[in-house]
Each structure stands twice: as structure tokens, then as C-alpha cells.
């Protein structure tokens, strides 16, 4: 019997693969063989570890040593130091700023230690392509319990009592949805999984499907048993090839093991499962549009009622849950509803997975108890904004969500509290924005996305989002009028109230929240023709403050249009006629000497910046309007 001294859990999720983790894997295997260690050091290719920004990453067990930013060149030294000399290779280890921990274990790293893993319970711990490793961590025990010891009614009651709400965005109680479908009499019912995930900046579902595909499959088996379905589909966008590969392998392995197909576990229950590839349409995240897509029709939502629980896929009773929701099911069945409710709040129980991205120090996938504050997620887990920048807002809920300002960071993350801000929890996208972000431009970015993704079936969404986008475009180009603000608010509410599906009903959220919390930026764009973040080119003048300029030449080298001139030890200047307002100089300057002024500003910059704002009348007199 072979004796394994250490397991090297090397991330092979999409993010790390893109960062050359497969080349690292090859180099590790060669080096271990060269040193005669291949029999006692085992390499396991796992799914996403979560700490995406630091990839490729690897955890060493049982030592719990975490290595990050692995390179092929570092492998010989790492193997020699850690596995021959017995001392962890500090060069690749996590180092917390201003703290001296000789050998930090994973539990010591802030990104990991504040998380509570239930959906991501197996992340970085198993090979997702081996069903045996999933089973070794209690995999399919919940399915066995549900099929052999529980009635469909008992399964539904357990899920209802847990308080689990759909993690796909709407937050509808999962048990209630299952109950509706279970009571409908039909020879054919369908259990469906939404793995489409179209939000910009979201990668929660993709990571779960890649790292733990059997958790989704097991959740679907239990759900199918509860509602009486014998056939299921996992709807996955074709842009997720690794997720598709591992899901299909998981389905094949489960079928071979007798966990899918005919007479599962000799219980008389049949359940066939297959994958359906989507073409990447955002609107197909809406359940009725997704079902039309599976039917081979154009993905367009239909009016409700009738609801899918009564007439869904091919007009048969159907239940659609997203990936994260289904991954929660097995531990709930195995451990009970009280166990699940031990985390979270009364109306928002359990945990939630978020894709933390944007201007944040620690980009990655995190799972936290519902009710935790936004500040804890962004600062304690995410490490705060990137070095040298200030936090400005966080976009929660993707293009259907809203922008939450710093003043509200202490609110708890629950469905009710987040909705009260004008945003939504959504599927879990969390995009952090710093002081280099223009909030008007941000609203325009998301409107551009939703207007383009609208299926066009209903007028409020098809026309309304386009008009909103045109108004926002005018404002960012210096053509805005003061009356535009009222028009934006009125039209946003009309689109929200009268659109057919969730796409149109939430598309105005980024507009309404930025108007509510960052109205001053809209006003400066319209009245002073000034984008204070320096993002909107038509509303920006860059100027070098000679009192702060160190003449280091960084801005000069960064300028693509040769608009900056100056000699060594002499403050530089910008030739405005040559400036293309690309902002390269501003980003390159380390001394805060480049300032952002209103478009065409010709007055005294010190007077303007000293006041911190600009008076519209004064601005017009100085020729900047």
C-alpha cells in the first residue's frame, strides 16, 4: 500500500488554467519524478479554489500551506525547500501586509478565515472528475436518504423549513416552488437547472459546476424525486466548456454507478439527466425564456400565469433552480433544516456565494453567511480597494442590480435590506468601484448591456431601455440637459413597472441607484461639463499641477499622443490641442500632480480645485461650458 506524505491540491479551474496551471502541473510532476518523490507526493487537480486573483494557487495537505502565483520557474526550488528540506517555500506564500506570521496556514489568511463553506464545501479538496472523491465526502448520501427514507412530502417540508431561497436572483422560496409543482397531476414533469449565468463579472455557478459537478447532480436527483419528475436538463452556456465537460463526465459516472437512469438504488425511481447548451443570451436567464430555448424556439419570456410549475417546458409542470440553489440541497437533506437555519437571518437563511471582483485587492469567489455586512466582505475578506485608491461604490446584482455607496456598507446582506437600497442580491455578482469610476458612465455601461440583451418582445423594455441609454449617452458626451434627470427617473419607473420579464423590470436599477446616491455627478456632467473621474472624454481636461510635479517623466512616457512636454527636474505641461483625454497620464502619475478639470477649462485651476466644486455661472464666464 502506497504511503502518501502530502497531497498537492493544484487549482485547475478556468481562472488558474488561464494562468498556466497546467504547465505548473507538468513541471511539478517532472520535478517530483526527478527527485524520486512521485510515490509519496500526490498531485490532485481540483476545481476553483476561490482565490482567483492569485492564481495559479495550490494548497498542501495535511500542512495546510497555501502557495500562490506559481510559476514553472519556481517549481524546482519549491520542491527542494518544502519536500526535501521540510521548510515551506516562503517566496510563494501569502504575506499579510504589516503582519509577520512565519508560516501562515490557510485558516490564517483573511480571505479564507472569514468564510463559511456549504455550497463550496468541497472546493479545492477533491478532484471534480472522480465520483469516488465526491462520495468519500458524504456525496450522494443525501440522495440515498431522500430516495429510501423520505417521502416527497417530507423532502419538500425539509427544504421549506430550511428557509432556502432561490439563489438565482429573485429569492423565491425553493420549497414552495417544489410544492407547487408536486401538487400538479401530470405523467411528465421536468427538473431543470439554470447554469446560464449571464451577469458581467459573475462566475459563481461556473466555479461550482467546474469544482463540484456532483453537488448539482445530487441536488437535481432530490428535487426530481420531490416533484415527481423523471427527466431533467442542465442549461449551460456554451462559453463554459470546462464546466460542460465536467458536468457530462459527472452524469456519465453517476449513471454508471446507478445513481441516474432507471430504478435508482432499487427504489423504482427513474431520472434521466442531460445537458443543453445555451448560446449566451442574457434573457435566457429568465425561466420561461430558458424553457423556450430548450424547446428549440427563440428564447423569449411569456406572460405569467400560467407559471412553470403548472405549464413549463413543453407545457408540462417544471421546476427551474439555479446551480447554487441545487448545490445547497444535499447538505440540507443530510443535516436537517435547523442546521441550515443556524446561519443567516430569519428571512434570509444559510449562506450566499459572491463573485467579488472589480477594484478590489482580493478578487475571488467567497461564501459567507447571510446577514453579514457588505463592509466585512469588501474589507475583511476582499482586502479593500486596490492600493492607493478609495472605495466609491459596489454594484450588487449585476446589470439588474444597483450601486451602493460607502455610507451604506454596514447594512446586512439580506434580500430585504439590499432591496431597500434599490439594489438586489441577485445571483451574487459584487463589483467594487473606486474613485476612478464615473457613476454616470457606470449606469450607461449596464444600460448598454441590458438594452442590447433585450429580446424585444415587449415595448417598455425594447424601447424604454434604448431611450434611457440615449439620454445617458448624451450626458456622458456633454449634451445633457437638466430636464434629463427627471426624465430618467420617470421613464425608469415606467420601464420597471410595465416590462414583461425580470430583465426589463430590473434594468433601470443602475440608473435609479446612481441618481439616488451620486446625483451630484449627474449634475456636474450636465451643468459644469465636468466628469470628475476623468472617464468621459468630452467632459475632461487634464492639467499638471506644477507645485506637485516631480518631473519623473512617468506621464510623458505613458502619453500615446506626445501631448506632454518637459525636461528633467522641470515640471511638465500638457499641450491641450494634442491631448486625446485617454487618462494614461493620470493613471501613471504617482504624485497626484495631474488634476481633472472641466472640459475646456481656462480659469484658475487652484481656485476651482481649492473650492472642491465649481459654480455653473462662474464656469460659463471662464469659458469651460
The DSSP call for residue 307 is P
* High-pLDDT (> 70) share of the chain, %: 96
Average pLDDT over residues 554-573: 93
Bigger pLDDT: 170 vs 430: 430
Give ranges for CATH 1.20.1440.230 in the chain. 439-527
Confidence bin at 96 (pLDDT 50/70/90): low
Give ranges for CATH 3.40.50.11540 in the chain. 131-341
CATH 1.20.1440.230 fits 439-527, yes or no: yes
CATH classification (class only), 538-621: alpha beta
Average pLDDT over residues 7-21: 95
CATH 3.40.50.11540 fits 131-341, yes or no: yes
Burial of 46 per CB tally in 10 Å (0-12, 13-18, 19+): buried
Highest mean pLDDT among 49-53, 170-174, 180-184: 180-184
Give ranges for CATH 3.40.30.10 in the chain. 6-108
Write down the residue that cell numbers 462662474 correspond to.
618
pTM of the model: 0.91
Task: Evaluate whether 131 touches 254 at the Cβ level (below 8 Å).
Answer: yes
What pLDDT score was predicted for residue 466?
Answer: 97
Give ranges for CATH 3.10.20.600 in the chain. 351-434
The DSSP call for residue 385 is B
- Report the mean per-residue pLDDT for the chain: 92
> Range with the lowest mean pLDDT among 90-104, 110-124, 261-275?
90-104
Confidence bin at 83 (pLDDT 50/70/90): very high
Sign of the dihedral through C-alpha 236, 240, 242, 245: positive
CA angle 383, 56, 204 (to 5 degrees): 65
Average pLDDT over residues 213-217: 98
C-alpha cell at 148: 429510501
Write down the residue that cell numbers 432556502 correspond to.
164
What pLDDT score was predicted for residue 616?
Answer: 36
Task: Evaluate whether 317 touches 186 at the Cβ level (below 8 Å).
Answer: yes
Quick check: 328 pLDDT over 50?
A: yes
SS3 586: helix
Give ranges for CATH 3.30.70.20 in the chain. 538-621
CATH classification (class only), 6-108: alpha beta
Confidence bin at 623 (pLDDT 50/70/90): very low
Burial of 573 per CB tally in 10 Å (0-12, 13-18, 19+): middle
Show Cβ contacts of residue 201 under 8 Å, excluding neighbours closer than 6 positions.
355, 357, 358, 395, 398, 429, 430, 431
Closest to 270 measured CA to CA, from 221, 312, 321, 314 = 221
Q: How far apart are CA 125 and CA 10, in angstroms?
A: 10
DSSP string, 150-170: --HHHHHHHHHHHT-B-TTTT
Strand order in the sheet with 351-358: 364-369, 351-358, 429-434, 391-396, 402-405
516-544: pLDDT as tens digits: 999 999 999 999 999 999 999 999 999 99
569-604: pLDDT as tens digits: 899 999 999 999 999 999 999 998 999 999 988 888
Q: How far apart are CA 93 and CA 103, in angstroms?
A: 8
Quick check: 617 pLDDT over 50?
A: no
CATH 3.10.20.600 fits 351-434, yes or no: yes
Amino acid at each position: 500500500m502506497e504511503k502518501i506524505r502530502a497531497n498537492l491540491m493544484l487549482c485547475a479551474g478556468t481562472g488558474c488554467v488561464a494562468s498556466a496551471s497546467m504547465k505548473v502541473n507538468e513541471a511539478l510532476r517532472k520535478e517530483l519524478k526527478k527527485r524520486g518523490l512521485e510515490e509519496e507526493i500526490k498531485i490532485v487537480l481540483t476545481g476553483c479554489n476561490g482565490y482567483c486573483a492569485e492564481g495559479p494557487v495550490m494548497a498542501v495537505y495535511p500542512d495546510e500551506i497555501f502557495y500562490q502565483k506559481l510559476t514553472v520557474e519556481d517549481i524546482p526550488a519549491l520542491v527542494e525547500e518544502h519536500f526535501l528540506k521540510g521548510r515551506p517555500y516562503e517566496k510563494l506564500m501569502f504575506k499579510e501586509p504589516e503582519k509577520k506570521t512565519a508560516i501562515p496556514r490557510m485558516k490564517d489568511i483573511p480571505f479564507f478565515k472569514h468564510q463559511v463553506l456549504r455550497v463550496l464545501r468541497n472546493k479545492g479538496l477533491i478532484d471534480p472528475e472522480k465520483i469516488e472523491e465526491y462520495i468519500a465526502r458524504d456525496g450522494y448520501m443525501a440522495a440515498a436518504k431522500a430516495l429510501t427514507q423520505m417521502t416527497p412530502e417530507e423532502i419538500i417540508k425539509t427544504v421549506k423549513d430550511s428557509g432556502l431561497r432561490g439563489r438565482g436572483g429573485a429569492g423565491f422560496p425553493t420549497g414552495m416552488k417544489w410544492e407547487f409543482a408536486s401538487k400538479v397531476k401530470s405523467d411528465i414533469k421536468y427538473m431543470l437547472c439554470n447554469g446560464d449565468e449571464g451577469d458581467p463579472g459573475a462566475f459563481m455557478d461556473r466555479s461550482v459546476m467546474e469544482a463540484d459537478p456532483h453537488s448539482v447532480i445530487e441536488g437535481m436527483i432530490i428535487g426530481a424525486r420531490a416533484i415527481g419528475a423523471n427527466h431533467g436538463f442542465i442549461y449551460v452556456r456554451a462559453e463554459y466548456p470546462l464546466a460542460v465537460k465536467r458536468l457530462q463526465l459527472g452524469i456519465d459516472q453517476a449513471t454508471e454507478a446507478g445513481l441516474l437512469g432507471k430504478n435508482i438504488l432499487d427504489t423504482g425511481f427513474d431520472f434521466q439527466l442531460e445537458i443543453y447548451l445555451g448560446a449566451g443570451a442574457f434573457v435566457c436567464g429568465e425561466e420561461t425564456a430558458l424553457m423556450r430555448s430548450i424547446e428549440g424556439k427563440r428564447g423569449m419570456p411569456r406572460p405569467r400565469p400560467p407559471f412553470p410549475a403548472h405549464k413549463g417546458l413543453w407545457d408540462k409542470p417544471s421546476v427551474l433552480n439555479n446551480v447554487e440553489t441545487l448545490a445547497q440541497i444535499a447538505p440540507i437533506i443530510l443535516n436537517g433544516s435547523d442546521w441550515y437555519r443556524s446561519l443567516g437571518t430569519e428571512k434570509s437563511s444559510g449562506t450566499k456565494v459572491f463573485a467579488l471582483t472589480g477594484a478590489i485587492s482580493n478578487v475571488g469567489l467567497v461564501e459567507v453567511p447571510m446577514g453579514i455586512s457588505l463592509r466585512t466582505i469588501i474589507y475583511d475578506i476582499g482586502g479593500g480597494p486596490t492600493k492607493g485608491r478609495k472605495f466609491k461604490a459596489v454594484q450588487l446584482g449585476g446589470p439588474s442590480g444597483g450601486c451602493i455607496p460607502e455610507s451604506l456598507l454596514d447594512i446586512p446582506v439580506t434580500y430585504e435590506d439590499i432591496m431597500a437600497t434599490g439594489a438586489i442580491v441577485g445571483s451574487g455578482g459584487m463589483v467594487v468601484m473606486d474613485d476612478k469610476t464615473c457613476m454616470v458612465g457606470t449606469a450607461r455601461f449596464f444600460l448598454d448591456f441590458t438594452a442590447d440583451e433585450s429580446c424585444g418582445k415587449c415595448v417598455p423594455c425594447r424601447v424604454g431601455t434604448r431611450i434611457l441609454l440615449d439620454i445617458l449617452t448624451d450626458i456622458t458626451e456633454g449634451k445633457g440637459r437638466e430636464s434629463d434627470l427627471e426624465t430618467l427617473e420617470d421613464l425608469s419607473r415606467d420601464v420597471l413597472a410595465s416590462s414583461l420579464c425580470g430583465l426589463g423590470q430590473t434594468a433601470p436599477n443602475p440608473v435609479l441607484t446612481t441618481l439616488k446616491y451620486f446625483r451630484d455627478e449627474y449634475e456636474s456632467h450636465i451643468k459644469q461639463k465636468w466628469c470628475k473621474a476623468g472617464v468621459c472624454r468630452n467632459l475632461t481636461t487634464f492639467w499638471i499641477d506644477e507645485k506637485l510635479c516631480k518631473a519623473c517623466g512617468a506621464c510623458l512616457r505613458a502619453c500615446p499622443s506626445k501631448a506632454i512636454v518637459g525636461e528633467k527636474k522641470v515640471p511638465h505641461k500638457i499641450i491641450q490641442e494634442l491631448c486625446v483625454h485617454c487618462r494614461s497620464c493620470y493613471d501613471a502619475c504617482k504624485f497626484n500632480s495631474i488634476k481633472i478639470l472641466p472640459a475646456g477649462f481656462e480659469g484658475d485651476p487652484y481656485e476651482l480645485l481649492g473650492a472642491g466644486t465649481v459654480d455653473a455661472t462662474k464656469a460659463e464666464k471662464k469659458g469651460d461650458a
